[in-house]
A and B are shown apart, each in its own frame.
Chain A
Amino acid sequence: MFRKLSSLVRISKFFHSHEDSAQKVFRDSISSTVKGVQQINYVVEFDNNLSAEEKATQKRFLVYRYDPADPEDFPKYVSYYVDLKKIPPMYLDAILYIKDNYDSSLSLRRSCREGICGSCAMNCDGLHSLACIKAIDTDLTKPSIITPLGHMFVVKDLVVDMTNFYTQYKTIDPFLKRKSPKPDNKEYYQSPEDRKKLDMLYECVLCACCSTSCPSYWWHPDRYLGPAVLMQAYRWIVDSRDEYTDERLEKLAEDMRVDECQNIGMCTATCPKGLDPQKSMNHLMKLIDDFKERRGAQEAL
């Protein structure tokens, strides 16, 4: 199914030189299945005393609200009506408008408002994304559903507990490790071809959108490292300046925490920066298999 879609994507690229429309076809086909999964259990109307005509011209936002520290609170969706003409086009602008004008107790993480820090990762209309670079769907007949990242413990409203994600990232040693000092004591040299290998890997912002949309990660968050972390592990293995490649591969090979990838593909579909964790993970598994063969051959000697 994915192969057929990818051929569709390649054909449409000839007619629209936009990357966006090609990705949009892929995304729409996926988000339609994801949207069906969301079950809205409890909707609370935010008291606005709006008439029906006003509501018709404004966009309805169903925002997930829950305060675990409050003993009487329970998870619910609160509906807010926002006039889309008053706000810039992104989801983050809508949420901040709600926070400024309607309900200032709404908690969310956000920092750069340009998609580079990775703080505002949340589920907007079915797909995980960065709220600051995702445009609001301007269809006024459908409500917009905003929830926190999936299968993560909620700290409050849209803020989510990321400690497991960060500790997993720490385990792969995401820094340059060298055995020999700098040549001429100046800098680590790298050819343009080697630098090109890092493209589409270094842009990762660690927003956790991909990991939290991977069903494999949902079922085994403690065992499986997740696409984000594994893509970064691949980034350090493929970096020509790093000299601990074999040790890194050995660490990944022994723990069997890479094998949970079932090639589902949600990570690539979801990535708000347009990266491809699935491809990187497949390359990584191939490298690990090669390493295991080499190690087996060496031990046989």
Chain B
Amino acid sequence: MIIQNIKSLKIYKQNFRSSQQFLQSTKHMAFSPLQLEILKFYRQMLKFANTKVGPSRDSLLVYIKGEFRKNQEIPKRQFRRIEYLLRQGQNRYAILKDGNIDQIR
């Protein structure tokens, strides 16, 4: 009985240590699905900006980062507002992608 208890205690301690390590490595809670969608969209926009060359690329990156940073303080419960901004961003991205637009300044 005592040996079994010591064994289970060891296993518990091992597991506990590893989950602590995991939490320390990530340093935050898991992203919500909406946050994941926005991060995915952000990456998509950065990849799109990287396809351009020269000053158009720089100005586009400044614009994209500015738009995202402007609204980064919205609390994550305000779904309506966040989804509205995401939709606006996607509409603008569709226009930038399809039209023969060179720069945004």
In the complex the two chains form, is B84's CB within 8 Å of A153's CB?
yes
Interface membership of chain B positions 66-83, coded 1 if the CB is closer than 8 angstroms to chain A and 0 otherwise: 000000001000101100
A69 to B74 Cα, complex, angstroms: 12
In the complex the two chains form, is B81's CB within 8 Å of A68's CB?
yes
Q: Is the interface of A mostly helix, strand, loop or mixed?
A: loop
Which residues of chain B have C-beta atoms less than 8 A from A163's C-beta?
91, 94
Q: Does B87 reach chain A (CB closer than 8 Å)?
A: yes
Q: Does A83 reach chain B (CB closer than 8 Å)?
A: no
Q: In whole Å, how far is A42's beta carbon from the nearest beta carbon of chain B?
A: 15
Which residues of chain A have C-beta atoms less than 8 A from B87's C-beta?
153, 161
Q: In whole Å, how far is A264's beta carbon from the nearest beta carbon of chain B?
A: 28
Which residues of chain B have C-beta atoms less than 8 A from A71's C-beta?
74, 78, 81
Q: In whole Å, how far is A158's beta carbon from the nearest beta carbon of chain B?
A: 16
Which residue from chain A places its CB closest to the CB of B82 in the assembled complex?
A: A68
Which residues of chain B have C-beta atoms less than 8 A from A161's C-beta?
87, 91
Which residue from chain B places its CB closest to the CB of A161 in the assembled complex?
A: B87
Which residue from chain A places its CB closest to the CB of B78 in the assembled complex?
A: A71
Q: In whole Å, how far is A236's beta carbon from the nearest beta carbon of chain B?
A: 23
A68 to B87 Cα, complex, angstroms: 11
Residues of chain A in range 155-199 having any CB-CB distance to chain B below 8 Å: 161, 163
A153 to B87 Cα, complex, angstroms: 9
A274 to B71 Cα, complex, angstroms: 45
In the complex the two chains form, is A68's CB within 8 Å of B94's CB?
no
Residues of chain A in range 52-78 having any CB-CB distance to chain B below 8 Å: 68-69, 71
A71 to B71 Cα, complex, angstroms: 11
Q: In whole Å, how far is A76's beta carbon from the nearest beta carbon of chain B?
A: 13
A153 to B85 Cα, complex, angstroms: 12
Which residue from chain B places its CB closest to the CB of A154 in the assembled complex?
A: B84
In the complex the two chains form, is B78's CB within 8 Å of A68's CB?
no
A69 to B87 Cα, complex, angstroms: 12
Q: In whole Å, how far is B78's beta carbon from the nearest beta carbon of chain A?
A: 7
Residues of chain B in range 33-83 having any CB-CB distance to chain A below 8 Å: 74, 78, 80-81
Which residue from chain A places its CB closest to the CB of B74 in the assembled complex?
A: A71
Q: In whole Å, how far is A168's beta carbon from the nearest beta carbon of chain B?
A: 14
In the complex the two chains form, is A68's CB within 8 Å of B84's CB?
yes
Q: In whole Å, how far is A262's beta carbon from the nearest beta carbon of chain B?
A: 28
Which residues of chain A have C-beta atoms less than 8 A from B94's C-beta?
163
Residues of chain A in range 67-97 having any CB-CB distance to chain B below 8 Å: 68-69, 71
Which residues of chain B have C-beta atoms less than 8 A from A69's C-beta?
81, 84-85
Which residue from chain A places its CB closest to the CB of B80 in the assembled complex?
A: A68
Q: In whole Å, how far is A190's beta carbon from the nearest beta carbon of chain B?
A: 33
Which residues of chain A have C-beta atoms less than 8 A from B81's C-beta?
68-69, 71
Q: In whole Å, how far is B22's beta carbon from the nearest beta carbon of chain A?
A: 35
A93 to B9 Cα, complex, angstroms: 78
Q: In whole Å, how far is B84's beta carbon from the nearest beta carbon of chain A?
A: 4
Which residues of chain A have C-beta atoms less than 8 A from B85's C-beta?
69
A71 to B80 Cα, complex, angstroms: 10
A65 to B84 Cα, complex, angstroms: 15
Which residues of chain A have C-beta atoms less than 8 A from B91's C-beta?
161, 163
Q: What 12 new A-B contacts, CB under 8 Å, besides A68-B81, A161-B91, A163-B94? A: A68-B80, A68-B84, A69-B81, A69-B84, A69-B85, A71-B74, A71-B78, A71-B81, A153-B84, A153-B87, A161-B87, A163-B91
Give me 15 A-to-B residue pairs in the complex whose CB atoms sit less than 8 angstroms apart, sorted by A's number: A68-B80, A68-B81, A68-B84, A69-B81, A69-B84, A69-B85, A71-B74, A71-B78, A71-B81, A153-B84, A153-B87, A161-B87, A161-B91, A163-B91, A163-B94
Top 7 nearest A-B pairs (CB, nearest first) are A68-B84, A163-B91, A68-B81, A153-B87, A71-B81, A68-B80, A161-B87
